[in-house]
Amino acid sequence: MRAQAPGPSAGLTLGQAVEAALRNYPSVRVSQEQINAAAAGIQLARTAYLPRVDALAQVNRATRNNVFGLLLPQRVIPSISGPVLGTNNFGTTWGTAIGALVSWEPFDFGARKAGVDAATASRARSEATLKRTQYDVAVAAADSYVTLVAAQETVRAAQAGVERAQVISRTIDALVNSQLRPGADASRAAAELAAAQTQLIQARQAVEVARANLSRFVGQDPARIAVSAPRLLELPPVQQAAPLDPSANPASLEQNAVVEQLRAQLRILERSYFPRFYLQASAYARGTGAEVDGKILGGANGLAPNFQNYALGFTVEFPVMDIASIRARKAEQSSNIRAEAARYQQIAVDLKAQWNAAVATLQGARNVAENTPAEVKAARAATSQATARYQSGLGNVDEVAEAQRLLTQAEIDDALARLGVWRALLAVATAAGDIQPFVVEASR
């Protein structure tokens, strides 16, 4: 069920965006259905404990000629029973058969239990895949949300730059009209205004792209998405990163489930080269319109089963020549297990490297965020001074244009620096395998 899309002014929080993504994104539903299929597989494996019951009913009309001799097992020539009459007669008669066979394995050296365990391991793997998928979707949705906020902050700074360029352009136009400044200054001011407007257009384009990217997670029309993230515009409190436990990451948990599933399948192979014991019971009846002296009874004779038999027995089957193939399959499965176990170790190594890089990035982002306010303050002072010098005739338009560009860039850097800290915190949480604390902190 898709989340109800709020109006443009509803203000989607980060927590709401993540929750909507977990409800709406198709890959999550795919993993959920895989769990349902794996659960059905467990029930299927458990049916191996039940006795097998086969029932048969047949009506035919055929000749009744029979010959001595052996016929190897095949699926082409129908079998026929009865004495050899020494004749070759093409007359036909009715024949019927009805019966049932019950077969049950009283013990199996753990083969059926291994099958159930393998199905259970498959379900555990599907559940781990669901958790990893949910985690990936949540991380992607959170990253898309932060990207949208960063794009909007860039628009805000670019808009301020356009407004400043408009003010200085009007001022210069007035000075030029009063013949206090050359017309070239007005042209330069117009060029700077156009450049600032181009930067604003590009920033707005980035917002729409980011909004469209977020919409695929939250299930809303891009035009109706408006975010409410005042917390992301502030510096988060300094916190010591929790120690990394790679085994707790959903990617590690999923890979560990893969290894356990392969081991469960290996146990099935280890119990394949054993005798199979079957307790069997059969009851059946047959009818025929043919007599032992070669005569054929007419009418409906043979349509009713009139000869009955029953049997009770114990059958043992042993795949004598399967030893080579079973050994080869076990060797193949063992290699697969070792490969997936090595992949599990590789995931742990990659997560550790990812976590270390994220922690280093976080420290650098904090240092940048602490420095950008000074950059903005200095850029504003430089802009005021350059404007005052220009208006008093002591400076030129190039100094004003350069100062305004520096101020716009400083404001963008300052806004993105704070968001850079939040993005680094998200990267640390992603490597650690739990972004819920990040979502809670960012949604306050």
- CATH number where 404 lies: 1.20.1600.10
Residue 222 lies in a domain: yes
What pLDDT score does 181 carry?
Answer: 65
Dist CA 345 CA 266 (whole Å): 21
Q: Which domain holds residue 25?
A: 14-50+110-151+201-274+325-442
Q: Are residues 140 and 129 in the same domain?
A: yes
What pLDDT score does 2 carry?
Answer: 38
Residue 431 lies in a domain: yes
Q: Are residues 293 and 333 in the same domain?
A: no
Residues 6 or more apart whose Cβ sits within 8 Å of residue 271:
108, 109, 110, 111, 114
What pLDDT score does 121 carry?
Answer: 92
Residue 191 lies in a domain: no
Q: Are residues 34 and 64 in the same domain?
A: no
What pLDDT score does 180 carry?
Answer: 63
Residue 192 lies in a domain: no
Residue 67 lies in a domain: yes
Q: Are residues 355 and 430 in the same domain?
A: yes
What's the structural domain count of the chain? Answer: 2
Q: Are residues 292 and 390 in the same domain?
A: no
**What is the pTM (predicted TM-score) of this model?**
0.79
Q: Are 111 and 271 in contact (CB under 8 A)?
A: yes
Q: Are residues 437 and 331 in the same domain?
A: yes
Torsions phi, psi for 258 (to 5 deg): -65, -45
Q: For residue 64, which of 309, 308, 292, 300 has the smallest C-alpha distance?
A: 292
What pLDDT score does 77 carry?
Answer: 87
Residue 193 lies in a domain: no
Q: Are residues 297 and 415 in the same domain?
A: no
What pLDDT score does 3 carry?
Answer: 40
Residue 359 lies in a domain: yes
Q: Are residues 256 and 116 in the same domain?
A: yes
Q: Are residues 98 and 146 in the same domain?
A: no
Residue 190 lies in a domain: no
Dist CA 219 CA 90 (whole Å): 74
Q: Are residues 135 and 71 in the same domain?
A: no
Domain end call among 293, 317, 341: 317
Grouped pLDDT means (10 residues each) for the chain, 444 residues: 41 86 84 84 82 91 86 87 83 91 89 90 91 90 89 85 79 71 73 84 89 87 84 82 85 94 92 90 90 81 88 91 90 94 94 92 90 86 80 72 82 86 90 88 80
Dist CA 362 CA 416 (whole Å): 13
Q: Are residues 351 and 410 in the same domain?
A: yes
Q: Are residues 297 and 431 in the same domain?
A: no
